[in-house]
Structure formats: structure tokens, C-alpha cells
A and B are shown apart, each in its own frame.
Chain A
Amino acid sequence: MGTIQDANPKATWRKRMRPASFAGARFHVEQQSRASGMRTVVHEYPKRNEPFAEIMGKHAVRYQVTGYCIGPEYHLEKEQLIGVLERPEAGALVDPYMPTQTLTCVCERYSVTETRERGGYCTFEMSFVEVGKAGNTPTANTNVALQNQANTTGIAGVNALNTAARQFVTGVSRVLGVFGP
């Protein structure tokens, strides 16, 4: 038996589709939307008709997904999905319509709905946001600072032992009149 991907051989978009999942937990997608764009500051000048939209970088990618779990064991899939949605970690969000780009996202909010009339079925409303990278990390060269401080402390240790030797030798010399430079 074929799958929906074989329904129309000319529909290449179907062949590209992959099962949707978040952090390895699969679900079906009823509807989804992806939002992003560029952050801009629009400058409008007096006595001038042309504005200037200054590009300040990209908006974080946000996904609004309406998904569902269905089947005799839908409750297991539901529990697994809830588990990863409530975990304080980022996970890979597989967009079934954009399989070449797997984003690392975190779930901001979700709701799961089950109704009496539809057994073996639950609907998820999920909001995801792209995690990205920690920004504005200080670029101070801590390696060099650490090495410098280690050398300073090493010299402090050298002085401490040399001083102890000096005190020892001076003590011996004072008492016995021997030993010392």
C-alpha cells in the first residue's frame, strides 16, 4: 500500500515532507504558521518624502502549530510530547513542510485539548520560538588573563618558599654560626 507521498508522482513537495516532531516526540500537523522577518527602525525625515528603514537584524523565528495525536495509543504519544514540551531544554523542531531546515526551538506555551465526542484524539496548540545563541558574549580573552594570574601566583609561591628557606637558614646561622651564603 502506498502512502500519500505516492498519490501524485509530480507533487514533489509531498515527497519532501517529513513527520513533524519536537525533540524526538512525533505529532501530526493540522495547521502551522511560521513568522519571522527583519527588525527595522524607520527613519522619516522632515521635508523629505523618502523614508529610510534601517535593518537591525532578523526577528526570532516563531512557530504557531496546531497538531494532534491520534490512534489507539494516542495517549502515549501525548504524554511523550507533553514531556518534551515541559522540559526546560531546547529541542529540534522538525517542520514537515521545510525538511531541510531543522530549528532548535523552545516551547513558550502549549495547550492540549481532548473532547468526549472524539476518543483517541487530542489537539495541541503550541508556540515555539527559535533558541539561537547567547548574544553579546564578552570577548575578553580570559585565557590570557588566567595564564597571567597563574604566573603571578606561581611567583608568589616561589617567593614564599624562598622566604621560608631564608628564615630557616638565618635561624640556623644565628644559633650555630654556620650554613648560609
Chain B
Amino acid sequence: MWPDRRLLDLFKLEFPIVLAPMAGAMDAELVIAAAQGGALGSLPCAMLTAEKAREQVNIIRQRVSAPVNMNFFCHKPVDADPKREAGWKQRLGAYYKEFGLDPSAPINAANRAPFDAAFCEVVEELKPEVVSFHFGLPSPDLVKRVKAAGCIVMSSATTVKEAIWLEENGADVIIAQGAEAGGHRGMFLTENIAEQPGTFALVPQVVDAVKVPVIAAGGIADGRGIAAAFALGASGVQIGTAYLRCPESKVIAPVRAALAQATDESTVITNVMTGRPARGVANRTMREVGPISPDAPAFPHAATALGPLRAAAEKLGRVDFTNLWAGQAVRMGREMPAAELTRALAGGALARMSQMAH
């Protein structure tokens, strides 16, 4: 028995597990598989067009009868600064030379669009049961429209202050994202990475500060971790890294290999891959240019100049310039179908909790 059923009842789920939206690493396939296992599948829409997002949700709806979470970024877009872009390209110049790339050739700009009216229309049309945001919340009128469409609104807090802000601004569920988490830090009221608490310290403090259900995220990848999160007062967990090596993810072979070889000590928080702090397995760019560099252009523009390098290196089977987003629990990732993994995670947690009760 789950000691807290708020999330299960709210989402109408079998297990209080949310598959984290991992933009670039997954699509409808992983959402479907996790949902078949009883979790809430999250579709990362940050790198999709509105049309593509619609297509993906339709695929999910055809294949599984389960609640769906559409996830969006809601950063304030900043125009690319030509001077910073040029400086960044110069910083990466030696790599362009090494891979025989022409630094003056035109490049596609990095595509991470924030939630806007066009996305909102798709949400209103598709009515996903849940809509989650990263980097705060969109404008109040957009939040209102999402709620009017009947969607439950979730967003990530990396500090107690952010959690309180999210609750005050309409979040129905708060994801407490500890420093262990892979991918982009959801931080939006602070820029200080040094003051980002770990999951263990953050979760009970957020639980005390807000009334809405809290989902623990970061460093959780097995039944023990889930059971611990519930003891801290969480109503559910969000898990990403553990699912990266599932056959249904879109992670390419050399990245799978890098993840399989990673240890707990392999991940760091960097800003050089996209311009925003994110945790991943250290690749060559992070080691040589970062992990933190003041030269990195604002999000998502740092990714633009890395694009051609990434493509060239990946052709050679190398991940020197590829985002290897993963959390501190990377060593606990398993090569197992996502539905099976979901059931194993839930079963492990339930067994742990009943074992402790004796």
C-alpha cells in the first residue's frame, strides 16, 4: 500500500511514478512503454513544433489508454547576441578545425521554444491530463487557459522559495528537483548553482512549505529511493535517468555506451552545452570548455555553435559535443523495457515499505 495516495488519485495512476520528460532523448515510444507499466508518461515538447507535438500525443492516445503529461519549457526567450555568438564560435574554433568544419557556414539556430499561444492551442485541443513546465510557469493568461482545458499543472522547484512561488501562481503539483537530478536545473528565481539543495534536504522542506502534493526528483532510481522519498513526505517521484537505457528511448548507441560506463562521480553541472545549468555525464566539451564558462551564450544559444560539431563527432561514433544529460543515479540505470522497469521500481518500493513495517 502506498502511504500517500494523493497523486495516484489526482492522476488516476497505478503507480506514483512520473517518467521525466527528457527532451532529445525520448519520444512517444518511451511515454507509451512507461504508461503501460503504470507510470505517468511525460512527452518532452521543448524541442518539437506544435504540429509535431500534436502528432506525438495522437500516437500515444492510439496506443495506450492512460493519462498523458505534455512538458514544456517556459524560459523567457533572449535574442541571440551576435557578439557573444561570435566569441563562442571563436572559443570553439579549434574544434571546428579539428573536424574540418567551416566556421563561417550558416548554422541552424538551437530550437528550444518556450510555451506560447501556438502550443497552448495544441494543449486546448488535445487536453492532456497533465501539463508540466520547466523554468517556472508561463504567463498567467496561458496558465489560466491550460487549467480551463482541464489539465493539472505541474512545475519544478529547486528551492523552497520557488516552490512557494509556484503554488501561489497556480501549480497544482510541485516537483521538488534536488541537485542530483539530470538535465536542466529547473531554477527560475535564482542563478546560484552552489545554493541548490540536494533532494534529501529539499523534499521535506518543500513539503512543509506548500499544501499541494510534492513529487521528489533527483537521484531516485530504485525502490529504496522511492520508499525514502515517501518517508520524506513526497506523494510521488519523478524518474528520468533510470529510463535512459530502456530500449524504447531515443538515446543513440555511443551515448548509451557512455551512460553504461558512467559512475556516480561522472556527472557534473555545466552551462556550456546550452547556456543554462544542467547535469550530465562529463563529455569533452564540458571537460575542456567548462563545466562552467562565462563565455557560453544565453540559453539556448550556446547549443547553436555546438550543433555542427556534435553532428560531425557523432558520425564518428563520438560524444565529445553531445549532451549526455543524466543524474547522479546514472550507475543505477538499467537496460530493461520501460514497462517492466516501472513495475520493478514500484514493486521494489512497496516491498521495502512493508518490510520496514515489521
Task: Decide whether A and B assemble into one complex.
Answer: no
